[in-house]
């Protein structure tokens, strides 16, 4: 029934695109079919199966990438600079997305059934001690002092302009990730130890994060990812309810909170906020995934494959260009430059990242590996009362940052994701934790 429902929903997407415009009908048919696997994963997950990471990634692909791309293709008018493309490039890009979506679904369904990881500890759970959380805050505050507290009060564009080196970004990212880990740890601890000290610590962490992770100074997808981490760590939802609430919030947030945050971040003096849902959803650069994929396809057709350089540069993002002179620029940047765009801070969804390095073969193999990873992480069940902070941070991070990594460009976002997981590993490995038995106050 889930697969039939996903096919019906995809058909409705196709009909909506045809009613919106009659250009590139074959490409829209391919794109509509590409939504079937992700629609299936969404319906499957909110019906009670598996975890939340694949759910978040699937929602991104359907509602922030493929369906907006269908609307763009139906009029052959794409968000950045109102570009039009030849039908062959649109169709090729649509086929890449379709190959990726079905490969992810098939391996996910197979591996999700066979992978079974039990991380529960029937004797209790482990929380960070108060001194551990204070240590995280101390590290975050130290990084903030080094970077300059005033930077965290700037709007996003001004902050990015004021930080010009990799070392500067590492300090800012360390400040932000340490702050959010501390908040998640404090919220998790309060689930088990409800005392005045815990209340004061949680309140301080929350207040401090309003500065360290000021929503006006950071990417909206990043802010949302951090919020997911805290919710996963601190709120003991029953899993099914949690996934349904998160799904609704995510889809509604794409078309309501995101444009309003964008307005606040721009800080246009004397401007008033106005919003047209159809105009925003069909024209904004927030949903430029298909256009970015087309630009990457055109780049590869004109210059050839890069044979892993972009993936390697994303993994080794912390190496300065002064040391590694051949380090690639983010995929969205090089594709935008090749297209002749004045503005090149563009997304580059994971199918295009795979394609620029290894072509069709890379899309297939990469999608299979991603499907396998999603199945692996979704088999973690950290929502019961026997969930320790280490697993909650890892799973919350995968769910919160899955969308960011799926949207790309990888090199543009890999730095803070790697920083988050590195600090999670470091903190959980060396900082003291306390054991809370199942009989501890909840």
Q: Phi and psi for 325 in degrees, rounded to 5?
A: -70, -20
Q: How far apart, in whole angstroms, are the C-alpha atoms of residue 406 and residue 144?
A: 29
CB of 38 closer than 8 Å to CB of 62? yes
Inform me whether the pLDDT recorded for 379 exceeds 90. Answer: no
pLDDT of 119 reads: 44
The predicted model gives 86-98 an average pLDDT of 96
Inform me whether the pLDDT recorded for 116 exceeds 50. Answer: no
pLDDT of 115 reads: 42
Q: Which of 21-30, 96-105, 191-200, 329-338 has the lowest mean pLDDT?
A: 191-200
pLDDT digits (tens, 9 = 90+) for 39-73: 999 988 888 756 788 888 999 999 999 999 999 99
pLDDT digits (tens, 9 = 90+) for 270-280: 567 777 778 88
Computed over every residue of the chain, the mean pLDDT equals 87
CB of 396 closer than 8 Å to CB of 180? no
CB of 216 closer than 8 Å to CB of 159? no
Q: How far apart, in whole angstroms, are the C-alpha atoms of residue 387 and residue 119?
A: 8
Element (H or E) spanning 126, and its range? strand 125-128
pLDDT of 324 reads: 92
- Cα→Cα distances 54→186, 268, 438, Å: 27, 37, 29
Band (pLDDT 50/70/90 cuts) for residue 113 is low
CB of 185 closer than 8 Å to CB of 433? no
Ordered by start, the domain boundaries in the chain are 2-117+287-370, 125-259+382-436
CB of 175 closer than 8 Å to CB of 109? no
Who wins on pLDDT, 327 or 344? 327
* Ramachandran bin of 50, using left for φ above 0, alpha for ψ from -120 to 50, beta for the remaining angles: left
């Amino acid at each position: 029934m889930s697969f039939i429902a996903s096919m019906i929903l995809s058909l409705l997407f196709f009909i909506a695109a045809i009613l919106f415009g009659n250009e590139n009908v074959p490409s829209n048919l391919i794109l509509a079919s590409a939504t079937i696997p992700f629609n299936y994963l969404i319906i499957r997950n909110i019906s009670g199966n598996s975890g939340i990471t694949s759910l978040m990634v699937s929602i991104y692909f359907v509602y922030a990438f493929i369906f907006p791309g269908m609307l763009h293709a139906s009029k052959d008018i794409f968000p950045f600079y109102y570009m039009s493309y030849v039908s062959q490039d649109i169709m090729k890009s649509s086929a890449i997305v379709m190959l990726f979506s079905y490969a992810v679904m098939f391996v996910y369904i197979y591996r999700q059934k066979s992978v079974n990881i039990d991380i529960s500890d029937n004797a209790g759970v482990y929380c960070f001690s108060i001194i551990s959380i204070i240590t995280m805050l101390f590290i975050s505050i130290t990084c903030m002092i080094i970077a300059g507290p005033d930077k965290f009060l700037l709007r996003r564009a001004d902050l990015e302009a004021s930080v010009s080196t990799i070392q500067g970004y590492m300090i800012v990212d360390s400040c932000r990730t340490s702050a959010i880990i501390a908040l998640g740890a404090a919220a998790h601890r309060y689930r088990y130890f409800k005392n005045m000290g815990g209340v004061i610590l949680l309140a301080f962490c929350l207040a401090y994060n309003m500065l360290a992770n000021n929503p006006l100074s950071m990417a909206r997808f990043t802010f949302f990812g951090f919020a997911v981490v805290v919710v996963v760590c601190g709120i003991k939802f029953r899993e099914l309810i949690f996934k349904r609430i998160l799904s609704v919030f995510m889809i509604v947030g794409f078309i309501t909170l995101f444009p309003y945050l964008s307005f606040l971040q721009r800080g246009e003096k004397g401007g008033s906020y106005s919003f047209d849902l159809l105009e925003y959803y069909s024209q904004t650069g927030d949903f430029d995934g298909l256009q970015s994929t087309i630009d990457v396809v055109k780049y590869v057709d004109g210059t050839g494959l890069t044979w892993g350089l972009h993936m390697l540069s994303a993994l080794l993002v912390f190496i300065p260009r002064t040391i590694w002179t051949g380090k690639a620029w983010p995929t969205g940047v090089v594709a935008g430059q090749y297209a002749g765009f004045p503005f090149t801070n563009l997304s580059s969804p994971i199918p295009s990242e795979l394609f620029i390095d290894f072509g069709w073969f890379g899309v297939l193999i990469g999608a299979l590996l991603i499907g396998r990873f999603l199945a692996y992480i979704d088999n973690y069940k950290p929502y019961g009362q026997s969930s320790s902070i280490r697993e909650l941070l890892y799973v919350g991070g995968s769910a919160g940052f899955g969308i960011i990594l799926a949207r790309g460009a990888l090199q543009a976002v890999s730095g803070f994701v790697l920083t988050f997981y590195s600090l999670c590993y470091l903190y959980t490995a060396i900082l003291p934790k306390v054991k809370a038995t199942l009989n501890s106050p909840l």
